[in-house]
Each structure stands twice: as structure tokens, then as C-alpha cells.
Amino acid sequence: MNVPDQVSEGLAICQLRDVLDRVGDKWSVLIMAILGDGPRRYSELRRSIDGISQRMLTLTLRSLERDGLVIRTVTPSTPPRVDYELTPVGHTLSTEVGSLIKWSEQHREYISMSRRTFDAE
């Protein structure tokens, strides 16, 4: 991966931090994974993601929209309707996340076994 000696001064790593802050929070990837299947309404997202509060759903969607990863479309009807969908760039990140999901599926057992072994001491 060719990491410079003073890593945090390397530009690549600063960028990495940005992405990890973007992707590493509690709900972002979950939302991106769902939107990877296609557009969803606000209420659909809420029902799909068990345990998310209204507050965090809104905050996370705003943040994704701000970063150009999600598009928000308001239909001013009564009741109002809001749809969310991935942007093209959002889709590419969603793909990266998918590869992380595969990794986690393949190594889940190894990790939980490692933890049990480690905790046994």
C-alpha cells in the first residue's frame, strides 16, 4: 500500500480519514446499502432500518446529500412525499461497501473465534 513514514502528513491518509468518517458512522452505509437497490421514500427507509431514530435518519440523509452521494426529491402533495436515491458517485461508494460486506461475511467466524480465544485469558 506504500505508506509514507509520517502517515498522517500523507495526503492519501487524510482523504482516507474523510471517507472513513463518511462511511464509518452508525447509519450511513446501511442507508447506502438499501438505496443501492433503488430509490426509497423517507418512511420506507424508516421501516427498513430497525432501531434508527427519526433524528438520525434525517441527519444521516442530509449529510449524504451534502456530500453528493444521495439526491433528495420533494413532491409537494398532501401528504408530502420525499424520495431518496443514490447519485452515480453514491453508487460507486455503494459498490465499495458491498465488497466490505463480502469481506465481513467471509471472516465473521474467524473474528468471533479470535475474540473468544483472546478473552479466554
Partner DNA sequence: CGGAATCCGTTCCGATACTG
Partner DNA sequence: CAGTATCGGAACGGATTCCG
Q: Is the dihedral of CA 47, 52, 54, 60 positive or negative?
A: negative
Q: Is the dihedral of CA 8, 12, 13, 19 positive or negative?
A: positive
Select from its own copies, DNA, none the partner in contact with residue 39, using the beta carbon and a kind-dependent cut-off of 5 to 8 Å.
none
**With binding defined as CB under 8 A, does residue 56 bind its own copies?**
no
**With binding defined as CB under 8 A, does residue 94 bind its own copies?**
yes
CA distances from 31 to 26, 57, 60, 89, 111 (A): 10, 9, 8, 15, 25
**With binding defined as CB under 7 A, does residue 26 bind DNA?**
yes
**With binding defined as CB under 7 A, does residue 72 bind DNA?**
yes
**With binding defined as CB under 8 A, does residue 89 bind its own copies?**
yes
Residues 24 and 30: beta-carbon distance below 8 Å: no
Looking at residue 121, the DSSP 8-state letter turns out to be: -
| Cell reading at 68 | 453528493
- Residue among 46, 65, 83, 85 that touches its own copies (CB under 8 A): 65
Point out which residues bind its own copies (CB under 8 A).
1-3, 5-9, 12-13, 15-20, 22-25, 29-30, 33-34, 36-37, 47-51, 65-69, 89, 92-94, 96-101, 103-105, 107-108, 110-111, 113-115, 117-119
